[in-house]
Amino acid sequence: MRDSVRFIRQGRVVELKSFGPTETLLDHLRLTERACGTKEGCNEGDCGACTVAVGTHEDGKVVYRPVNACILFVGQLDGKEIVTVEDIAGSGGLHPVQQAMVDHHGSQCGFCTPGIVMSLFALYQDAGRATPPPRAVIDEWLSGNLCRCTGYRPIVEAARTALSAPPDDMFTRSAEATGGVLQFLADAEDVFVGTDQRFFAAPRSVEALAALYERHPDATLVAGATDVGLWITKQFRPVEKVIHLGRVDGLDRIEDVGPAVIIGATATYEAATDALAGIDPDIGAVVRRIGSRQVRASGTIGGNIANGSPIGDTPPMLIALGATLELVSAKANRAVPLEDFFIAYGRQDRQPGEFVAGVLVPKLKAGQVFRAYKISKRFDQDISAVMGAFLFTLADGVITEARIAFGGLAGTPKRAAAVEARLIGVAPGSAAAWSPAMEAFAEDFQPLTDMRASAHYRLETARALLGKALLETAGAPTTRTRVIGQREARQEGAHVGA
């Protein structure tokens, strides 16, 4: 048992023995370290002004990811390297990313700039990136960095310039040494800092987690903290006991088991993207629009399910695919169909001491067509007004089974049972045959009006998405049915994301 957390800061290992279980990395930097280069623009993960890069050791390499320091708890950084905007200029002058930002007039008020620099710094370090990456990749890496002054054009130009050569800076040059230290920090100890009443814990194994959670069923499980962070910074919820899942060995597994893929609970969106996109490119396209690069580096599939949100983006897709949830506690393991996990708004089928271990996602079978659409005011980093996922099984040109699930239309992610029933025997291409299904929407859903959309728009859009899915199933090319996320472009190999 270790009673501290340790991370690398400016080439040295820092060990913290006393810190608040929910103290944010941003507060640690700005208030404790007084390293004020990293800014606070929103304190809720949406603006990117607080972006720092976090280094981890994976497959023999040091990998840097941008994260939002404002909603990350400092304990979550155990075993990692924290790089901030103050750290990247070497003795020889500005970092290539910084220099390009200066040369291209990429800053005006400068308040977003440290975050932008750190997002681009993380992309810069990606050895697999193109030189320079296509615009879509640059946009994807900037999707979590709002700039209100520049209109982004000079920032994109700066990115193109800085990323026109492979990574070569003091971080790549010291990667081996850094990797060594990171490996050393990744010890086998369970971390427990604090008292039985107030603690930050990071168990190392599923068994240790189950035992600890059984002892403290009132503790808050924290995976990426992209939800829990806001409970603290905005809602002032009292959270005294934190069990962080990030160190649990194997909980982040991603495994191809033939007819299905297993996604471990703590697999981040980023880590799971390719496996999910492998089932169908639409899933990849939706996941790449969840939050931002920062949110996807921290947020987990398990968290997206366990939070029970009616507007989470992965549950409708996973439900349509017929996914099964694995739940584990000190007493028992069980599996439930994902759709049954969501009981009602704010209520899930999870017992005290029980946690989500993973989700088993079946792959498409022959004769199946999958479609998913995320509708929001802004394409990137916006919560869906409507999220629709469709799985059609076809035989002889007609639908023999339909699994359809929506987010944003009810208190939980929910299947459209009545709609599904009316689709059996329908030929997707014959629009005249759709009407029973279209009419059935009102049986399945009575959505609410809020700031994202009116009830009317939600219901009408749900219908429109079914129409779109049917048209595409009947063969309409998505170049003619979608303004973004066209499948043809993706299949031609315009691989978005690094």
Partner 1 sequence: MSALESDPDGLRDDSQEGVFSVVRQPVRHDSAVKHVTGQAIYIDDMREPEGTLHVAPGFCRQIARGRFTAVDLDPVRAFPGVVTVLTAADVPGVNDCSPSIGGDPIFSEGVVEFWGQVVFAVVATTRDAARRAATLARFEVVTETPAITVADARAADIHVLPEYRFGRGDVEAVLADSPKRLDGRMVIGGQEHFYLEGQIAFALPGEDGDMHVHSSTQHPTEVQHLVAKALAVPDAAVTAEVRRMGGGFGGKESQASQWAVIAALAAAKTRRPCKLRLDRDDDMVMTGKRHDDVAEFAVGYDADGRVTATRMDFYARCGYSADLSLGVNDRTMFHADNAYFYPAVRILSQRLKTNTVSNTAFRGFGGPQGVLAAERMMDAIAVETGLDPLEVRKRNIYGPDRDVTPYGMKVEDNVLPEIIAELERTSDYAARRAEVKAFNSRNRILKKGLAFTPLKFGISFTLVHLNQAGALVHVYTDGSVHLNHGGTEMGQGLNTKVAQVVAEEFGLTLDRVKITATTTGKVPNTAPTAASSGTDINGMAAQIACRQIKARLVAFVANEFGTPEDQIAFRDGQVIIGNGSVPFTEVVKKAFIARIQLSSAGYYKTPKITWNRDRAEGRPFLYFAYGAACSEVTIDTMTGEMKVDRVDILHDVGKSLNPAIDIGQIEGGFVQGMGWVTTEELWWDDKGRLRTHAPSTYKIPCASDVPDAFNVALYDSPGNREITIFRSKAVGEPPLMLAASVFSAVFDAVASLKPGVIPPLDAPATPEAIMRAVTAMRRAEV
Binding site for ligand FAD (CB under 6 A): 45-46, 71, 220-228, 245, 265, 290-291, 295, 298-300, 302-304, 306-307, 309, 312-313, 355-356, 381, 383
Site for partner 1 in 417-456 (CB under 8 A): 450-454
Q: Which of 35, 72, 112, 222 binds ligand FES (CB under 6 A)?
A: 112
Site for ligand FES in 69-88 (CB under 6 A): 70
CB of 107 to partner 1, least distance (A): 4
Site for partner 1 in 450-469 (CB under 8 A): 450-454, 457, 460-461, 464-465, 467-468
Q: 109 or 344: whose CB is closer to partner 1? A: 109
Q: Is 448 in the site for ligand FES (CB under 6 A)?
A: no
Label residue 395 exposed, middle or buried (CB < 10 Å: 0-12, 13-18, 19+): exposed
- What does 36 bind: ligand FAD, ligand FES, partner 1, none (CB cut-off 5 to 8 Å by kind)? partner 1
Please name the helix (run of DSSP H) or strand (run of DSSP E) that holds residue 39, with its range, or none.
none
Q: 42 or 438: whose CB is closer to ligand FES? A: 42
Q: Is 38 in the site for partner 1 (CB under 8 A)?
A: yes
- Strand-pairing partners, residue 205, are none
Instruction: State the helix-helix crossing angle for 153-162 and 135-142, rounded to 10 degrees.
Output: 110
Q: Are strands 191-194 and 220-222 parallel, antiparallel or unpaired?
A: unpaired
Q: Is 149 in the site for ligand FES (CB under 6 A)?
A: yes
- Tell me the per-residue interface mask from 375 to 414 with partner 1, x by CB under 8 A, - otherwise: xxxxxxxxx-x-----------------------------
Nearest to 243 by CA among 261, 269, 265: 265
What is each CA distance from 254 to 7, 12, 445, in whole angstroms? Answer: 26, 32, 34
Please name the helix (run of DSSP H) or strand (run of DSSP E) that holds residue 51, with its range, or none.
strand 51-58
Residues 254-281 as b/e (b if ≥16 CB within 10 A, e otherwise) read beeeeebbbbbbbbbbbbbbebbbebbb
Site for partner 1 in 89-118 (CB under 8 A): 89, 94, 97-98, 101-103, 105-114, 117
Site for ligand FES in 32-61 (CB under 6 A): 40-43, 45-50
Q: 265 or 459: whose CB is closer to ligand FAD? A: 265
CB of 193 to ligand FES, least distance (A): 24
Q: 138 or 248: whose CB is closer to ligand FES? A: 138
Q: Tell me the residue number closest to ligand FAD, measured at CB.
A: 303
Q: 97 or 287: whose CB is closer to partner 1? A: 97
Q: Is 148 in the site for partner 1 (CB under 8 A)?
A: yes
In three-state secondary structure terms, 59 is coil
Residues 72-97 as b/e (b if ≥16 CB within 10 A, e otherwise) read bbbbbbbbbbbbbbebbbeeeeebbb
As a whole number of angstroms, the distance between CA 27 and CA 32 comes to 7
- What does 50 bind: ligand FAD, partner 1, ligand FES, none (CB cut-off 5 to 8 Å by kind)? ligand FES
**Residues 217 and 29: beta-carbon distance below 8 Å:** no
Torsional sign, CA 410, 319, 417, 467:
positive
Number of other residues whose CB lies within 10 A of the CB of residue 36: 13
CB of 190 to ligand FAD, least distance (A): 17
Q: 40 or 227: whose CB is closer to ligand FAD? A: 227
In three-state secondary structure terms, 117 is helix
The residue count of the chain comes to 498
| Site of interaction with ligand FES (CB under 6 A) | 40-43, 45-50, 68, 70, 107-113, 147-150
